[in-house]
Structure formats: structure tokens, C-alpha cells
Amino acid sequence: MRSRSIAARIRHSAWSRCFALSPTSPRPFREIVSHAKHNASMSYDLAVWEGPRPVDDAAASVAFEDLYAEFVGGQSVPPTALIRQYVGELVGRWPDLSPDDDDEDEDASPWSDGPLINNASGPLFYFGMVFSKYQHAAQFAAERARTLGLVCFDPQDGRLVA
């Protein structure tokens, strides 16, 4: 079963080793794929949130850190309606994982844990994808975030995606 907490994913992700700010923004998806291919991490994480789009990667990094401290570091807050809709679209595309279902086909899903909605708190959704399947899922996730007017941020590389 792939179920690690958000804090555990941060500790084990490239973000904790490679967090860097860059003056270029936003980065095309092919560059995200290139970065992740050279990353030895076992999961690829994205942060998606509701709010104004940061002006650049540095501002997005600060916004993510603030949101993370407020909505993940403390007690959980119910996700906003827009975040719930976003998560619904993701699990509508690929099946969610259930910690209680030993018979589910984990290979059918790119998610690193589940239920996916458990990674959402207030306006922030921070989630992981298994590294072997992240490419299509991350592209879809970024496109859906853009369509819904959400901010999509790559915490491994400190860059805006959408």
C-alpha cells in the first residue's frame, strides 16, 4: 500500500534536497518532465491551491511555504469547494486508492496514496504521484488546475507549473 503522509513525502522528496528559486516562470511542462527524469525520488509531488497567481517562482515558493505551514502543519481544515472539484476531476481520470481495499489494482493509479482528498486542507492540495507514472498524471493535473484557475506549483524545483 502506498500511503505516506504529506510530511513524509516532503522529507523523502527531492524538494527537501533540491529546493531552489529561479527567476524564470512559468516553466513549460517538457522542462518539468526533464527535471523529474533526472530526479532519483520515488514520487513526484505537486502543490495546487486556490488564490491569486504569484507573480514569479520566488513568490510562489513563499506562498506555498505559508499555505503549507497554515493548512498542513497544523490541524486539518475541510477543503474548499474548488479544491474538492479539482480532486474529483483527478480521481475521475484515474482511480483513487483506498487504505481499506487490499484487492485494488494500485498499478491502475498514478497516485502515491489515497484517498486523494485526504491530501487537501482548506485552499491547498499537496499530493504525490508514483514516479513511474507521474508524466501523464502531472500534465493532466496541471492542465486541470489551469482550467479551473488554480495555482499549480512544483515544490521539487520551486517553480510554477500553471
Residue appearing with cell numbers 517538457: 30
Domain ranges of the chain: 6-160
Q: How far apart are CA 57 and CA 118, in angstroms?
A: 26
Res 34: pLDDT: 39
C-alpha torsion angle, residues 120, 71, 160, 59 (rounded to 10): 170
pTM over 0.75: no
Distances (CA, A) of 161 to 46, 53, 118, 154: 9, 11, 22, 6
The segments of the chain whose pLDDT lies below 50 read 1-41, 104
Q: How far apart are CA 152 and CA 141, in angstroms?
A: 8
Between helices 81-93 and 134-148, what is the axis angle to 10°?
140
